[in-house]
Homo-oligomer: A and B are copies of this chain.
């Protein structure tokens, strides 16, 4: 069972410092990505193209962070030849950055839609759904990162479970917007911009779920991808019953 303290038990102080540093870089990148999601949603809802532009400009910084963290992981793999939970930590970090970078991409796509909606005229519908689903996926990203920071498999499980709710709400919103487009065909182009933004939010939820699954892998040592939620729950909570100290 891995936890935060196990990071401090290496013979090499330098190795500890390197692991702690790359982990903190991941969390910093996560914080920026989370802010991007929030700002992109606000830009869309408030028709704030200045804020949308800021989101687009920050995307480069996120890409640069991915590159830096990747290099750090590679250096640790090559020099330290980590094993067991250290290796799992490096693998989880190097995969999580891919999801964080793609969350950043989706935030940029939402920002582009925000700019189009400011230029071409606001959509008559869908803002309530963007705000609502946006708040929820932002919370998913935040909690997935908290779970990573605290090695908390239970919190990670709840993030993965929540993705189902997002998928359901996304589908409901989509159906309503399609109906609306049929009633008012002149709105199609503008409503589609909102639909693309909702689609990006739904994908952000998927990426948050991926990160949560990596946290479970990190903490429990089990690859829970594609297992289905009930088996995932058994893996996370079953382990806990077997080891009440966990």
B-contact bits for A79-93, CB 8 A (1 contact / 0 none): 001011001000100
Q: Chain B residues near A225 (CB, 8 Å)?
A: 63, 66-67
- Asked if residues A178 and B182 are in contact (CB atoms below 8 Å), the reply is no
* Number of copies of chain A assembled together: 2
- Asked if residues B67 and A223 are in contact (CB atoms below 8 Å), the reply is yes
Interface centre among A63, A78, A178 (most CB of B within 10 A): A78
At the interface, yes or no: A181 with Cβ under 8 Å from chain B? yes
For the A-B complex with A77-B87, A78-B87, A188-B188 known, give 8 more contacts whose Cβ atoms are closer than 8 Å. A67-B225, A77-B91, A91-B94, A98-B98, A178-B188, A181-B181, A181-B185, A185-B185
- The contact of A63 among B60, B181, B186, B226, by CB within 8 Å, is B226
**Contacting residues of chain A (83-123) with chain B, CB-CB under 8 angstroms:** 83-84, 87, 91, 94-95, 98
Interface secondary structure of A, over-half rule: helix
Closest to A105 in B: B206
Bound complex: CA of A67 vs CA of B188, how far in Å?
42
- Asked if residues A226 and B60 are in contact (CB atoms below 8 Å), the reply is yes
Q: Chain B residues near A67 (CB, 8 Å)?
A: 223, 225-226
